[in-house]
Amino acid sequence: MTTSLKAVTHAQNIRYDKAAEALYIIDQSLLPNEEKELRLRTAGEMVEAIQKLRVRGAPAIGICAAYCLYVLARTIEEPDPAAFQARLREYSAQLCASRPTAVNLSWALGEMEKTAAAHLSDPRPVLLEALYQKAVDIHQDDIAKCRAISEHGLSLLKEGDGVLTHCNAGPLATSRYGTAQGPFFLAAERGMNIRVFADETRPLLQGARLTSYELHRAGVDVTLICDNMASMVMKNGWVQACFVGCDRIAANGDTANKIGTSGVAVLAKHYGIPVYVLGPTSTIDMDCPDGAHIPIELRDPEEIKTLWYEKPMVLPGVKCYNPSFDVTDHSLISGIVTEKGICRAPYTESLAALFH
């Protein structure tokens, strides 16, 4: 029996025009009301784009950073190889410091630095071409990994299942299919009916602005809910699984993802609903023993106070606590889905096995 495939639209969130030597991203801070490409030229523009979430999602940040370092390498005029390498490392450090939690950022920059070191003695055009090819390889590798993750994730679902997802882990946050949303796009292509409940994901509303936008455009049955409605849809029996992405996975299986993810996992545990974390192996940090060692980014309180309102919603003197991520304990996770397969507890063993 041949499965009919349906065309599904995927956002091209990062685009490098080699003919023009120009790097473009979709400015995600403007979605869903405006689709606009933004060209990144300088280190300041690149850092600002990452910090202000114009480009976001752990894999996407890594891909973007790789292209960024190539663009910046082209601007370095020092003829001395050691001076070139020192300047490149400075740029890399600036980009790496822009967001501390997602390990893909430091990983991709590290790969670019290794490539540069391996070609320092080559003529400059050869070195630059090697950096460009490494950035392309990182991008293409993520596309392949997202497809594999989507296949493994879809194997956990059956026709008619309801799935709750938190934040955004689709093509905008990664490449092509995405990670936690990838199975939904793949299901849509194959005519399989999956019902998705997307948390709005306070305070920056990535679920409302981005996840529902992507899934609706792809023809996926998506229902947007406020974060504090997750318990109700679980209690109603509408959810058979939770799929979430991740920005870093510790060696013991603890995972950092958008703030609110750990609360979803606690609720799911109560209702007996499995929680699956989907992400590429580049998100696994085997040098990080557990969630307590994952740095958690704190963001501007104004994101809570004033960002989405014409008038402030709180008095100026009220304090705000605005962590961008939280850590979900490995005991709450039913499986970690990577491009190499599905890891189960004990994660200290199954995650380590991926690298041997």
CA-CA distance, 252 to 285, in Å (whole number)?
10
DSSP 203-271: TTTHIIIIIHHHHHHTT-EEEEE-GGGHHHHHHTT--SEEEE--SEEETTS-EEEETTHHHHHHHHHHH
Find the catalytic residue in 27, 142, 199, 247.
247
Q: How much is the CA Rg of the chain, to the nearest whole Å?
A: 20
Single-letter amino acid, residue 76? I
DSSP 46-112: HHHHHHTTSS-SHHHHHHHHHHHHHHHHTT----SHHHHHHHHHHHHHHHHTT-SS-HHHHHHHHHH
254 catalytically annotated? no
DSSP single-letter state for residue 186: H
Q: What angle do CA 131, 179, 257 make, to 5 degrees?
A: 95
Element (H, E) at 43: helix 43-51
> Shortest CA distance to 153 belongs to which of 119, 186, 107?
186
Query: Which residues form the catalytic set?
Result: 247
